[in-house]
Structure 1
Amino acid sequence: MLRLIGSLSFIWLLMATSTMAQTWPPVLDADGQPLRSGVEYYVLPAVTDVAGGLTLVNLNNGSICPLFVGQKPLAPVVSRGTSVIFTPRVADTVIRETRDFTVAFTGVTICAQSTAWRVGERNPETRRRYILAERDPIPSSNAWHFNIVKNDQGLYNFQWCPNRLIGVRPKPLCGDAGIVVENERRLLVLDGPAFPFIFRRA
């Protein structure tokens, strides 16, 4: 009987994994391999000769902290930026399209703050929401949960549209992540044209 229960459990797990793979295909890195949880990746622009990889930047407004998610400028030697680690919201070993995850830069900062990405409040002047790293993730909050979607060209965009809130009224004010230039800084923000990225294993 125990052997039968064990076999049925294995079959159920296999079917669930297969269904998940069909429903939410894995996000692929630049080498065509699934993005894996806990592995370091560089987030680079899908269009070459535009800029470097993502990293933490300040707004150059007289203070260093807090730090915002931004992009290295185009230079003679293109920088890959700072590597990140993705962690799925639900137990899984890979990052899947449209499924929530948290993302954090590796290393530490001079601001002694978290390096996890978070959606900030809407700027009253620009009407955009900046993505910054300021506090450690709060499990009950959706501000730290992003997902990756594939656009019409087959490239990947970051999006903020928490799965847990879908179907709830009012719906979350979802947004695609794009790059804007402010004070000579390239910043990752919501509520603008989406910017496509690729992921290269560090």
Structure 2
Amino acid sequence: MKTIAAAVLLLFFVFSTKSCFLGVANAANEPVFDTDGDELRTGVEYYVVSSIRGAGGGGLDLGSSPNQICPKFVVQRGLDMEFGRPVVFYPVDANDSVVHQSTDVNIVFLPSIDPYCRTTTMWKLDNYDHSSGKWWLTTGGIRGDPGPQTLTSWFKIEKFRPDFTDRVYRLIFCPSVCDSCVTLCNDISRYDCGTQLRLGLTTPEAGWPFSFVKASKDIQQVVGKQSR
């Protein structure tokens, strides 16, 4: 995927290399927490929802367009009450039962296979879209097998800001599974694409704030609690 043109485009992201995130290295052992204050667990289903309630939109889901039916891409629902589709997290260490900050994870929508597109619903970073000037998040990623061939399938979770609660986070594409690889290192935000809010890369520390809600929770109860 990484062509010479893609390497040049690194400059477009304000020299966003892995060195941008050295300051959060100490957070690597800190767990990620869901909205109940519980540690995020490997293999457990969660909704990834906007931490901004009211006009901030809802949860994440699969999307498509007339110009791109397959693979599906990652979108945010427009309403608070729409929690989208549950995801499961798989850390780079297959023996780790807890998701930690600054640690590479695979993220997959459920069900994990898209029968129509005949691909996985695992998140991945797509090729650079010249028409929009964006790196979009799509599906069709590969679970596990960390290294150059799976580079685009790894993401990280960081606390949104030091002054925010531990339950508000930003998503990052900055894989550490290949020390010798040249790669992007940027936050993830959402962009208005007509009738959809698509997820794609933005500059460091400019990501959208998200929280993780257990998929077993009652949506009405969660929204009511957050609106108070």
- Counterpart residue number, 1:99: 103
Can you give the 5+ residue segments of structure 1 that lack an aligned partner in the other structure? Answer: 1-20
Cα deviation per residue 1:106-142 (whole Å; 9 max; x = unaligned)? Answer: 1143323210000111111332110001354472321
Unaligned runs of 5+ in 2: 1-25, 216-228
Q: C-alpha separation between the residues in 2 aligned to 1:23 and 1:42? A: 22
Decide whether aligned partners of structure 1 residues 54 and 165 sit closer, same or farther in structure 2, where only a CA change above 3 A counts: same
Structure 2 residue 82 is the aligned partner of structure 1 residue 79 = yes
Q: Relative to 1, partners in 2 of residues 1:83 and 1:125: Cα closer, same or farther, differing over 3 Å?
A: same
- What is the identity, as a one-letter code, of the residue corresponding to 2:192? V
Q: Distance in 2 between matches of 1:190 and 1:104?
A: 18
Change (3 A) 1:93 1:60: same
Q: Distance in 1 between matches of 2:86 and 2:187?
A: 21
Percent identical: 29
| 2:211 equivalent in structure 1 | 198
Secondary structure at 2:158's aligned position in 1? Answer: strand
Alignment pair present for 1:32 and 2:43 = no
Change in CA separation of 1:124 and 1:26 when aligned onto 2, cut-off 3 Å: same
CA distance in 2, matches of 1:92, 1:22: 16
For 2:152, which of 134, 143, 150 is the aligned residue? 143
TM-score, normalised by the number of residues in structure 1: 0.80
Q: Which letter does structure 1 place at the counterpart of 2:84? A: G
Which moves more between the two structures, 26-35 or 180-189? Answer: 180-189
Tell me the equivalent position of 1:160.
173
Q: How far did residue 171 of structure 1 move?
A: 4.6
Once residues 117 and 191 of structure 1 are traced to their aligned partners in structure 2, the CA distance between those partners, rounded to angstroms, is 17
| Dislocated runs of 4+, deviation >3 Å | 135-138
Root-mean-square deviation (CA, aligned residues, Å) is: 2.1
- Contact 1:59–1:183 under 8 Å retained in 2: no
What is the rounded CA distance, in whole Å, between the counterparts of 1:136 and 1:194 in structure 2? Answer: 24
Retained in 2: the 8 A contact 1:59–1:185?
no
- State the one-letter code of the partner of 1:124: H
Aligned residues: 177
1:64 match: secondary structure: strand
TM value normalised by structure 2: 0.71
**1:168-193 deviation line (CA, Å, top 9, x unaligned):** 4x752211000001132111101254
1:69 lines up with 2:82 in the alignment: no
Structure ID, larger Rg? 1
**Aligned partners of 2:144 and 2:92: how far apart in 1?**
12
Task: Give SS of 2:41's match.
Answer: coil
**Structure 2 counterpart SS, 1:65:** strand
Residue identity in the other structure for 1:59: S
> Whole-Å Cα distance in 1 between the matches of residues 125 and 61 of structure 2?
16
